[in-house]
Structure 1
């Protein structure tokens, strides 16, 4: 057993210039204090594999990653341009061009499309018109020959052929020859119209030859510069020639122009993309539509890129929980990473009949994905998804703690300056770091949840008129506690009024002040709980009333069974434990979980068996194993504070204190009021490593030896054993 001194409890972080402000301090480097996480990330970058970043919420994993990737990406090659090109009414081909060539290709195609306009002028030139007149003249002459032949034949029968607005008409007197002549007229008219159609087709062919003669060299030149786009350029060339031949140029060529999906500034390095809402369409892209005269239409120019397109050649950062939240996104992401290409998908496309529309082919992508999320999501994916294990082989885990030293104080001070908060003194920042120690209950570490430190800093800045000093931070801490301490105040008010029966002086048999923690909005607070035990001869061993009434969790139940194991081992020479010991947490009506009351429960049980009174001015916390070793527990500082406040309410006697596990000495980040009470000798802390040390403190007896604590317990157990065995023998003889 060791009594803790005031000097051992001081945990303030020293700074050399506490009054200096942070205005000229630089922000901390990315991954400050996260050496292992940084090493894992660098390894993943070298291996060019995907990674999952995890750690406590609030450690700014995403922000740190993005800040780190920025300079890394700037040194990488700028990725190529991605384009979509329509090659039919439905098909859209993908095109990958070296960086910078995409915009030039678009400009050259647009210039090529503009060449359709000059052709209209070309068709008004003398050479074209002369050739057109010659062709039309040839067919007109053949038409006239047909009519002349019919006129001559009609004249032999006394008929005359007349041309009218409605066509041709025969006039004559010989009715007998009329049927034959009308048949000949019909044949001649059909032949006449056929020649007119032939003439029109011949002129169209002339226009086609002239158009091809003009456009073909330009198409060949484009194809030579962009051979990968040959299929698209051939399609474009055919559309242009057809439009010219039919003399139906569209008002706009927008529907057939190239869609420059992705282009990065030359020399700008690789992209770093964070997609906050990774729906399927925002991840793999989408096809937009317009409504024209009530009809839904689309074209290649309305294809929009997704985050995977934008991150091609670089890095994509996603929040794991958000990806899993949106249907189809996770499967689409895995497909893209496995296949190295992105296909634009519609939600639920596999389950329904696909409507006619564009069919863009997948585009090749090469991207390194970083998922950011909690540990439980990683564990879930790793256990249930084999593809996740194959794709995300690196786990980058953030440490929940930062070293609590002046370097960290300066790092946090620089971060506050970077975020644009009011000036802070280094002493004020040190107080923030010390409060972080209380959050994690480590005297040598502070909380790595930078977001929580920033939140408290903003609250302190709101209370300060100018520069934020240590007093402003202290006021913000007290104000935060006052906002959420209603339940705590109600409890201690009830303690003062006698509603809660807690004794902080004197001695009791079978009763120990245990300590529990109650979780609140901003952390947790501790309070004492009266643990009582009653023992009598029997066969049931230790009976936990909480366990019997389903008011306990599995870890609590395990701790109770551990007590039974200790009793069997410690008093093995007695034989089977012939006792029934009821154990209960008095005035506790909610479910209890955890093993931190194991030591207090064991002391209450031993006191009840041996009828040895225990001090009520000492509270006890700590787990215990079957050999009586005292094990560390969580929230030990909050528990100590809870008992201190209870003693203050009922009156500090100068003898009160808390017995806690020796291994928890590094966790005593106690509030100032408790520290002052320890310094003044009004409150005491005792670190123990074995149950025997706690027995000596609470009972005042030696654990072993003549009339020692264990000897008294053993004597009672032997008496219980004799009584139980006597009962068995009596029942046997009666039988």
Structure 2
């Protein structure tokens, strides 16, 4: 009994300190006041400044979001330094499109970024070079290089068949033939001095015939009749002559190499006279230091590989199929240009939406193909860019909630945004062995990333990933509601006008707009606020327009809006009605 009294607090102990001090008793609360249905209802009465929503111009979707828009303005205005933007409270493809339109209007005066292209690296073929050009120059360089190769294939064989070229080659042949003949004559003289006569055999061999008494020996029997001392002397002189013959052979090979080198110099000179004006024309049209260095390498490579542009030898008429070898290559491929970012038709900074933020779509890849010999091969023309590179100099919007669930995306995204460089590579998450032999040059990017996600994702990453704070320094938090002010009420009418115009729906009269505003206040759960969601308002406008068209109406009235709301309840309250029937 004693313990129960101690456990029960006294009435005095429950009183506030001031009441205990003064000894005052608490006053009883007023009896609850029951509200009528009229007091609980919410009605809006707009002025007669408009009759239908057709009188309103379309309105931006982000009215009442001053804080979020201020954050977006800051993020768009500060370049670099991790000022990418995390957008919360924004969902749906319509919101992404609205955000894209809003950003596009803000950056309309921004300069148009240039093109990115990959070209063959003649010094290191496994490391293609990246070239940055002005907008539209990437496609022009590709076309110019294609025309260059085509012109060389057409004109070089003709140049090699010109009379001047043939005459110069013939003069070189005659010059070196005389040198070869002089060498042969000198060797014949040396052979006679050593007592031998040179005679060619049926297989191209050269025989040394000993000369005895100014007459060549005709048979081996004559040689066997000589004394031992004479035979040894002939053998010694024959060995000396064989050594001289080896020297003669080396000299003849040197003469042939010199002739081939001189002929190649003639070919190079003829080709250079044809090639230099074509290269100079490209350099004049595309003034770019990197392009100039690339064209110099192209010129040198062409002059060193003129056989690629000569007429191909005709195949044998009895060959059943072309005799290809696994080592053959396409010589024109080395002079191709792979334009991975083409801003020819872009005006201002690009603002892209990536609806499927997978690794391949964001970062690109290096494609592989199976050639006709069954090998898996690739080359620099198989490099494909992702949206992160295509948005260079502009803005990229995607859902971070979708991106972080994709393999390797979050890790590579952080690395790319921190370094400001994107490395293109083959994406093989499940391959045991990598088969891409390419290591393309990394590309410097200047892309502002705007990601959308839930508040939960933001706080989770902010708390547990320190790098997230470094690369997403701006948060634009969109509110779900906005204050019940006159300009916000008219925003509902302007949103409805936008939907009706874009989707060719019947416009709303003033009473229908009032019903939609009342719907927004009920969804907000506050008599002094309304819903700030364009998507939900647009959906109700579409449903009300459906009922209006079903009755062949020209306008959407309040009755149609109420019918749309009632039908929403009807479609979703089956369980509620079944419970009431119990």
TM superposition score normalised by structure 2: 0.74
Structure 2: runs of 5+ lacking an equivalent: 1-31, 210-216, 224-230, 312-328
| CA positional deviation for 1:389 | 0.8
Of 121, 127, 131, 1:95 maps to 131
Equivalent positions of 1:32-181 (< 5 A) are 32-48=63-79, 49-55=83-89, 57=91, 61-88=95-122, 89-114=125-150, 116-117=152-153, 118-148=155-185, 153=191, 161-162=199-200, 166-168=203-205, 170=207, 173-175=218-220, 176=223, 180=238
- The answer for the alignment partner of 1:207 in structure 2 is 267
Distance apart, 1:20 and its partner CA: 4.0
Equivalent of residue 344 in structure 1, options 424, 437, 440: 424
CA distance in 2, matches of 1:372, 1:75: 25
CA distance in 2, matches of 1:226, 1:43: 34
Question: Which residue of 2 is the match for residue 273 of structure 1?
Answer: 352
Q: Deviations over 1:590-640 (max 9, x none)?
A: xxxxxxxxxxxxxxxxxxxxxxxxxxxxxxxxxxxxxxxxxxxxxxxxxxx
Is 1:436 aligned to 2:481, yes or no? no
Deviation digits for residues 292-316 of structure 1, max 9, x if unmatched? 2122333222222211221111111
Counterparts of 2:505 and 2:431 in 1: how far apart (Å)? Answer: 56
Aligned position for 2:12: none
Please report how far the alpha carbon of residue 94 of structure 1 lies from its aligned counterpart in structure 2 after TM superposition: 1.6
CA distance in 1, matches of 2:174, 2:408: 67
The answer (yes or no) to whether the contact 1:132–1:203 under 8 Å persists in 2 is: yes
Please, which of 23, 26, 34 is the counterpart of residue 3 of structure 1?
A: 34
What residue number does 2:213 align with? none
1:259 partner SS:
strand
- Deviation at residue 125 of structure 1 after TM alignment: 3.4
- 2:337 match: 258
Q: Measured at CA, do residues 247 and 31 of structure 1 come closer, stay the same or move farther in structure 2, by a change above 3 Å?
A: closer
1:291 equivalenced with 2:376 (yes/no):
no
Cα deviation, 1:113-151, whole Å, max 9, x if unaligned, reads 455343333333344333322221222223334545566
Aligned to 1:227, which of 282, 286, 289? 289
**Counterpart check, 1:196 vs 2:256:** yes
Query: Contact 2:388–2:396 (CA<8 Å) still a contact in 1?
Result: yes
Asked whether 1:448 is paired with 2:532, we answer yes
**Residues 649-728 of structure 1 mapped to structure 2, 5 A cutoff:** none
How far is 1:174 from its partner? Answer: 3.5
Q: Is this contact kept in 1: 2:156–2:310, CA < 8 A? A: no
Query: What is the alpha-carbon distance in structure 1 between the residues aligned to residue 167 and residue 43 of structure 2?
Result: 102
CA separation in 2, counterparts of 1:190 and 1:120?
33
How far does the alpha carbon of each residue in 1:451-509 deviate from its partner, in whole angstroms, 9 at most, with x for none? 23333333333333233322222222222222222221121111xxxxxxxxxxxxxxx
1:38 & 1:79 partners in 2: Cα distance?
A: 25
Which range moved further: 255-264 or 389-398?
255-264
Q: Which has the higher contact order (CA 8 A, sep 6+)?
A: 2
Point out the structure with the larger strand share. Answer: 1
Mark the runs of 5 or more structure 1 residues left unpaired by the alignment. Answer: 495-735
Tell me by how many angstroms 1:218 deviates.
5.9
Q: Cα distance 1:58–1:437, how it changes in 2: closer, same or farther (>3 A)?
A: farther
CA-CA distance at 1:30 after TM superposition: 3.8
Aligned pairs for 1:267-666 (under 5 A) are: 268-293=347-372, 294-347=374-427, 354-404=434-484, 406-426=489-509, 427-464=511-548, 465=550, 466-467=552-553, 468-494=556-582
CA gap 1:317/1:59 in 2 versus in 1, 3 angstroms:
closer
8 Å CA contact retained: 1:27, 1:417: no
After superposition, the CA RMSD in angstroms is 3.5
Aligned partner of 1:14 in structure 2 is: 45
**Deviation for aligned residue 1:156:** 9.1
Deviation for aligned residue 1:202 = 3.1
| Cα distance change of structure 1 residues 483 and 202 upon mapping to structure 2, 3 Å threshold | same
1:14–1:265 CA distance, 2 compared to 1 (3 A): farther
Change (3 A) 1:57 1:258: closer
For residues 270 and 37 of structure 2, what CA distance do their matches in structure 1 show? 102
1:456–1:78 distance in 2 versus 1, CA, 3 Å = same
Gap change, CA 1:61 and 1:382, over 3 Å in 2: farther
8 Å CA contact 1:84–1:259 kept in 2: the answer is yes
The Cα shift of 1:220 comes to 6.9
User: Do 2:496 and 2:538's aligned partners in 1 also have CA atoms closer than 8 Å?
Assistant: no
Q: Distance in 2 between matches of 1:58 and 1:107?
A: 41
Q: CA deviation at 1:385?
A: 1.3
Are the structure 2 counterparts of residues 192 and 424 from structure 1 closer, same or farther at C-alpha, using a change threshold of 3 Å?
A: same
* Cα separation, 2, equivalents of 1:480 and 1:385: 42
Cα pair 1:61 1:398 within 8 Å, conserved: no
Whole-Å Cα distance in 2 between the matches of residues 282 and 58 of structure 1? 19
SS of the residue corresponding to residue 82 of structure 1 reads strand
Distance in 2, matches of 1:61 and 1:148, equals: 93
- Tell me the distance in 2 between the aligned counterparts of 1:92 and 1:62: 36
Q: In 1, Cα distance between the equivalents of 2:308 and 2:355?
A: 50
